[in-house]
Structure 1
Amino acid sequence: MSLADSDRELVVEELGREPTPAEAALFENLWSEHCAYRSSRPLLSAFESEGEQVVIGPGDDAAVVALPEDGTDENHSSTYITLGIESHNHPSYVDPFDGAATGVGGIVRDTLSMGAYPIALADSLYFGDFDAEHSRYLLEGVVEGISHYGNCIGVPTVAGSVDFHDGYEGNPLVNVACVGLTDDERLVTAEAQEPGNKLVLVGNGTGRDGLGGASFASEDLAEDAETEDRPAVQVGDPYAEKLLIEANEQLIEEQLVESARDLGAAGLGGASSELVAKGGLGAHIELERVHQREPNMNALEILLAESQERMCYEVAPDNVERVREIAQRFDLGCSVIGEVTDGNYTCTFDNGSGDSETVVDVDAHFLGEGAPMNDLPAEEPSQPDTDLPRTDLEAAFEAVVSSPNTASKRWVYRQYDHEVGVRTSVGPGDDAAIVAVREAECGLAISSGAAPNWTETAPYVGAQAVALENATNVAAKGATPLAAVDCLNGGNPEKPDVYGGFTGIVDGLADMCETLSTPVVGGNVSLYNDSAAGPIPPTPTLALVGTKAGYDAPALSVDADGDSELLLVGDHGLEREDARLGGSEYLRQFDGSDRFPALPDDPASVVDTLAAVADDESTRAVHDVSHGGLAVALAEMVTDEAGLEVSIPVDGGVDPAHVLFHEQPGRALIQTTDPDDVREAFDGVAPVVSLGAPTDDGTLEIDIGETTLETDADAIRTLRSTIESELE
């Protein structure tokens, strides 16, 4: 590890001396891209993060949002949820199991530090081409790590996404979001409160794992990263995390915590300095007091190790003994390592000689906020030319429906315990999950993901589409958007074309979330996701939550009700020769290119109207239309008991492939017993066209133009089992 020359000059000027080795390492990690957002922070002001429902916005370990009492009332209650999202990209390449597992552990501890109990996880995963052996190795390891950790700690993984793209071959992405539950009396923040309060470290012993993890996450992955960077990857212990979750709950219930921060990037040095800096205070820490699991650790190792399952609490002196008792009850280590002061952030270390040496003496605010921002050049990306393939429609249908990107992800989510906690009403595999928040008598819908094909084709519009897609997923379950957090993943920002794409996804996501009146209340940035294979596609993962009255939702699959009709809401492309296929799985399968399709004129009204219609008693099923287009959405709605007979008339100049495979978001298929009511609801909002009706034979028949596509539920199941059949 080494501090950049320009940064060292600033530090020397501030301190009036050369930094100690421990200070230099601390500055290098806390001023890294991973911690300081030096290339991205100037862009993040684009996000609107305020709203009457927002209790705590960006800047803390997790955001806090008030829930409406019954899912629909605008008057918000004292029941709060926390929202947080993290990336563990580089570690998951080096060690897919531990890298992904500790990503889950970290975001859960972010939840604990706000005084919340974790109730749901959502993971969005991105790998290289599924056909590549190394991509499948990473997929298997990451999923195993997430499932092992999440299942052991008893937090359900209810939502997420999995995407495959050759741009992730040398640098997979593992983005994990967590939702927690708290209220106005339990709420804790990461802002130190008062000098004289003690700093107490609770959890696992400190070892040498994860040293330099923050700086490692701020560099391009080298070809030998799997061996050379292994020491920078943390090792998780989910059983200790489960004990920490329950101990934290007891500490919060007894109101023993003044402030809290979990130990993640930059370890104890990062957590403790950030905690006091937010309160405009300082601290004095005696590093030898930290309980350790390895002998002869030096000051720098104790300060920067990213060992997992540890929390730093600010505790009033009179409550320290009770905190010790609770830690002992849950078989957790507990060390009083120092106290909050009104001076500098100082750390001393006694290596056993009896002489205590000051190894850190800096202003906490300068340490946390003093990193200079980067002013980087950006090249605005251009959309591709139109070069459309000529394909056989039946072959195209089979190729798109069986693509790993659109195929069933059952192999992934069946490894997750998504029902633990008895809150899950709608689990993974649907447009959005729903968890019951009985404390506020509402259902919380959760959708998470991005679309690398979209944002590679058109970063700005593609990111807008990602936001609209997640909002549409939530609306399809009858919920209206409440708030969102984002995980902004990009390549090396020092490359103008890469930074231009990253700038595009930031602005696109921000603009659409503002249009949807959905505040972005927190997030994470992960840059330098480059490898020998090149930069990743700009990837704006969005985890969006919405609320609804009750916990039930319309089905995704149709039922064989002879009195119902299937409607397509949104742009159908039936009469337009200029319908766009850009960013579609169809073009990826057949090596074509095109501009990205235009988005709806009034996306907010589309989302609000869809949520209302989805909750209507005449609605039998609702399914979002997006990845893979109309063809995939229709295939996913068919079951062994219920099929669909669909007729799609197209004008002579329109290619049926445009209609079946374009991926404009903000569209939905609705099975309803009152089609006139749906048409009336969407009048002036979005076009509505009748496609046909359900049948009782489990067959999908699509008449489009002069072509008839016919298949059945069993054949569709076989097509959609690509991932399962290859990995079992």
Structure 2
Amino acid sequence: MPLTHLEPSPEQIEQEKIYRTMGLTESEYQEVVRLLGRKPNYTETGLFSVMWSEHCSYKTSKPLLKLFPTKGKRVLQGPGEGAGILDIGDDQAVVFKIESHNHPSAIEPYQGAATGVGGIIRDVFSMGARPVAILDSLRFGDLNNSRVRYLFEEVVSGIAGYGNCIGIPTVGGELQFDDCYNGNPLVNAMCVGVMKHEDLQVGQARGIGNTVMYVGASTGRDGINGATFASEEISAKSDEKRSAVQVGDPFMEKLLVEACLELTKHEALVGIQDMGAAGLVSSASEMAAKAGVGIHMNLDLIPQRETNMTPYEMMLSESQERMLIVIKKGSEEEIKAIFARWGLHAVAVGEVIEEEVLRLEHKGKIVAEVPSDALASAPVRHMPSRVPAEYTANQAAPVWKPEITDLAGTVHQLLTQPTLASKEWVTRQYDYMVQTNTVVAPGSDAAVIRVRGTKKGLAMTTDCNAKYIDLDPLEGGKIAVAEAARNIVCSGGEPLGITDCLNYGTPENPEVFWEMEQSVRGMAEACRVFETPVISGNVSLYNETNHQAIDPTPVVGMVGLIDDLGRLTTASFKHEGDAIYVVGEAAPEFGGSALQIMLDGKASGKPPVIDLQLEKKRQDEVLSAIRKGYVSSVHDLSEGGLAAAAADAVFGTEFGADLHFETDPVTELFSETQSRYLVSVPEALRKEFEATVAGAVLAGSVTRSENIEMHFVTESVSLRRPELEKDWRGVLSCAMSAKN
């Protein structure tokens, strides 16, 4: 209901069950009454409703998140702060996190995507790091659908508009299309930053009597109830909640980045946190709870860009480009001077108090007083789970065998599927060279940026094959982490750690919760084997439209360390005459494959099975070969199998390939068996490479040709690179030129 100055009384809130419209369940409301020892007023009810929403509290997913390994020799900061931090040597660290903005992007795609980027950037610089790269992970429905094309175009424009204006390169990511995302696109944004150890900051309100300051842009009425909106299913009524979508200003954020990075050098800074989901109530209550203290704030002092804003509106607004900081008492003028130089607000609005409450004052009255720890600690929900009948049927299904009579035509058709086609239509809208640190631009296995002042580089990627997870969430969860690690290794990097964005349907559905359980278990197992702890992340639930859930899509964002950029590798062939090796044998595993989806229109059966120990062994061997200088190019075999990998290796070059196999052509070309690589090796280094990488089979050589020649015992396939590449590059441009 619309808020007025004559707010409903606590008795009216209870009697009319207004708390339900805010998102609180009956039992949660009664728990609030118990915690307070009285009935909450309207503002207090709003504080609990937003902080106890799924989007802010993770009350459903917390039991599962405990399964992830979060410790490691490089971990400087794990989950619980704005972003995770890993040591990269030389007193330097990499900071990164991924988050979702799915619901806002479904109804207001430009601003939804733009503010998703803005929010994740603030999470990184609030830790004391300079943001150096952005990645994304995007999912959309059928491009023949005009609404899907509109969402796709606006989301990409939003990401480009914000990232380009703020001056942070968007260097990589992933993009997939499937009907299950028709009504509910996924927009996940990842930010990577670099910092010195000594600059590490945390979001804690320590020190009784210290000053709480509000810095950045003014508060408006945009984004109110954004967190609760993101904790419910998308429906025909979602358009009515456009006001729950924030509006971003990248130029203001650029100023805020510089001001806050200057602030982190000041000895008076005690704690800093972004006003993201749930706005001021989230930053204030979480900072207080983490330090075991309270905060008293005078809301009359909050910079407001609209008149007559109520306490409820000010506390729940998700206006962008704002931070809450705690500084040592007496340093207020010095801090104001820093922000004044950047043309930003810096206002003392409260103080840290010993009593562990969030106390809000407005127009001379206390309008809310609630335990800060209670706000930040929603009751955990232990959900029932049930094995889906569809999973059981897929496990029992006979092995799917494709029937192909035209191999060359099938390769061409496969490479022109939107998910496998060139993403240049997207990446050419991104400024991926700004800051001049980008060494490998979008299009290879992983993006790479240099660490200035060193010979080191950071490799980064986002990955998830949702079809595998839909068929078998345990196996698919393992594969999601393994593929990310392979992509890092293919660039010459050592996988360090991950951030995840767990996108699922409604957790009240026992089958959806079972998918969550199993995929998290699979991811956690892989993380332990690869020694890649989970240092940050996000959970996005209720990704459903009209009770139709998306495929379970737990996206993995991974960062790796390249110790010497002189040993950097990419997927493209480099030299005529290089030997071409395939590492790992193909098995007839087509469940959930790009080929199956193209031919059958759906995924079915069992996905590929992964042996994590074998995967780790091959990753170590391939990385060793790269670091010893034995290889010219490396590319992992994933979606589309060898056919897609071989094409990727010649596109954008003047080379072709001459390949010979004594295996079944369909299995060799299109199987998506895991733990496999396509590698080119200088002829003079073949023996050294073969001694380093077990299971490497010589398949042919790089040619200076316009053809990819593939010879099998029973037949040969010849693919013309120029024609194939032209069609591959034109898919998305052609689709987006269609009339809406």
**TM-score (ref. length: structure 2):** 0.93
Alignment partner of 2:330 out of 299, 315, 318: 318
CA contact (8 A) 2:284 2:358 kept: no
Matched, 1:517 2:525: no
Of 208-217 and 325-334, the range deviating more from structure 2: 325-334
CA contact (8 A) 1:388 1:593 kept: no
Q: CA deviation at 1:555?
A: 3.3
Matched, 1:427 2:441: yes
1:472 is aligned to 486
Q: CA deviation at 1:559?
A: 3.0
Letter aligned with residue 29 of structure 1: V
**CA distance in structure 1 between the aligned counterparts of 2:541 and 2:314, rounded to whole angstroms:** 27
Q: CA deviation at 1:437?
A: 1.1
**CA distance in structure 1 between the aligned counterparts of 2:336 and 2:250, rounded to whole angstroms:** 21
**CA distance in structure 1 between the aligned counterparts of 2:732 and 2:639, rounded to whole angstroms:** 16
1:289 is aligned to 301
**Other structure's SS at 1:369 match:** coil
Matched, 1:394 2:408: yes
**Other structure's SS at 2:581 match:** strand
**CA distance in structure 2 between the aligned counterparts of 1:477 and 1:142, rounded to whole angstroms:** 28
Matched, 1:596 2:607: yes
**CA distance in structure 1 between the aligned counterparts of 2:38 and 2:631, rounded to whole angstroms:** 71
1:252 is aligned to 264
**CA distance in structure 1 between the aligned counterparts of 2:371 and 2:74, rounded to whole angstroms:** 35
Alignment partner of 1:557 out of 547, 572, 592: 572
Letter aligned with residue 561 of structure 2: T
Taking structure 1 as reference, are residues 533 and 172 closer, same or farther at Cα in structure 2, changes over 3 Å only? farther
Matched, 1:179 2:200: no
Alignment partner of 2:274 out of 250, 262, 266: 262
2:648 is aligned to 636
Q: CA deviation at 1:439?
A: 4.7
Tell me the alpha carbon deviations over residues 340-365 of structure 1, each in whole angstroms, 9 at most, x when there is no partner. 111133333434xxxx2222211111
**Other structure's SS at 1:619 match:** coil
Letter aligned with residue 706 of structure 1: T
Letter aligned with residue 716 of structure 2: T
**Other structure's SS at 1:590 match:** helix
Of 532-541 and 342-351, the range deviating more from structure 2: 342-351
Matched, 1:607 2:619: yes
**CA distance in structure 2 between the aligned counterparts of 1:417 and 1:524, rounded to whole angstroms:** 26
**CA distance in structure 1 between the aligned counterparts of 2:319 and 2:641, rounded to whole angstroms:** 44
**CA distance in structure 2 between the aligned counterparts of 1:695 and 1:411, rounded to whole angstroms:** 29
**Other structure's SS at 2:193 match:** strand
**Other structure's SS at 2:199 match:** coil
Alignment partner of 1:690 out of 698, 721, 726: 698
Matched, 1:723 2:736: no
1:59 is aligned to 80
Q: CA deviation at 1:517?
A: 1.0
Letter aligned with residue 134 of structure 1: R
Structure 1 unaligned spans of 5+ = 69-76, 574-578
**Other structure's SS at 2:678 match:** strand
2:48 is aligned to 27
Matched, 1:39 2:60: yes
Question: RMSD of aligned C-alpha atoms?
Answer: 1.5
Matched, 1:300 2:312: yes
Alignment partner of 2:157 out of 144, 162, 166: 144
2:28 is aligned to 7
CA contact (8 A) 2:212 2:326 kept: yes
Tell me the alpha carbon deviations over residues 281-327 of structure 1, each in whole angstroms, 9 at most, x when there is no partner. 10001111100111111110001000000000001122211111121
**CA distance in structure 2 between the aligned counterparts of 1:24 and 1:664, rounded to whole angstroms:** 52
Letter aligned with residue 665 of structure 1: Q
**Other structure's SS at 1:706 match:** coil
Letter aligned with residue 85 of structure 1: I
**CA distance in structure 2 between the aligned counterparts of 1:648 and 1:169, rounded to whole angstroms:** 40
1:127 is aligned to 140
CA contact (8 A) 2:445 2:570 kept: no
1:195 is aligned to 208
1:345 is aligned to 357
Q: CA deviation at 1:541?
A: 0.6
**CA distance in structure 1 between the aligned counterparts of 2:76 and 2:632, rounded to whole angstroms:** 36
Matched, 1:221 2:234: yes
Q: CA deviation at 1:618?
A: 3.2
**TM-score (ref. length: structure 1):** 0.94
Matched, 1:110 2:123: yes
Matched, 1:83 2:77: no
**Other structure's SS at 1:623 match:** strand
Q: CA deviation at 1:80?
A: 1.3
1:410 is aligned to 424
Tell me the alpha carbon deviations over residues 130-149 of structure 1, each in whole angstroms, 9 at most, x when there is no partner. 33222221111111000100
Matched, 1:492 2:506: yes
Letter aligned with residue 573 of structure 2: V
Identity %: 37
**CA distance in structure 2 between the aligned counterparts of 1:364 and 1:224, rounded to whole angstroms:** 33
**CA distance in structure 1 between the aligned counterparts of 2:378 and 2:185, rounded to whole angstroms:** 31
1:675 is aligned to 686
**CA distance in structure 1 between the aligned counterparts of 2:248 and 2:674, rounded to whole angstroms:** 38
Letter aligned with residue 593 of structure 2: S
Letter aligned with residue 488 of structure 1: L
Of 370-379 and 493-502, the range deviating more from structure 2: 370-379
Of 123-132 and 436-445, the range deviating more from structure 2: 436-445
Q: CA deviation at 1:531?
A: 0.6
**CA distance in structure 2 between the aligned counterparts of 1:256 and 1:668, rounded to whole angstroms:** 52
1:576 is aligned to none
Letter aligned with residue 123 of structure 2: D
Matched, 1:367 2:380: no
CA contact (8 A) 2:505 2:543 kept: yes
Q: CA deviation at 1:440?
A: 5.3
Tell me the alpha carbon deviations over residues 225-276 of structure 1, each in whole angstroms, 9 at most, x when there is no partner. 2x21101100000000000001111111233321011001111011111011
Tell me the alpha carbon deviations over residues 413-450 of structure 1, each in whole angstroms, 9 at most, x when there is no partner. 11111111121111111100111113554111101121
1:273 is aligned to 285
CA contact (8 A) 1:559 1:641 kept: no
**Other structure's SS at 2:138 match:** strand
**CA distance in structure 1 between the aligned counterparts of 2:266 and 2:469, rounded to whole angstroms:** 47
Structure 2 unaligned spans of 5+ = 1-20
Tell me the alpha carbon deviations over residues 452-502 of structure 1, each in whole angstroms, 9 at most, x when there is no partner. 222122211111111111100010111111111111110001111111112
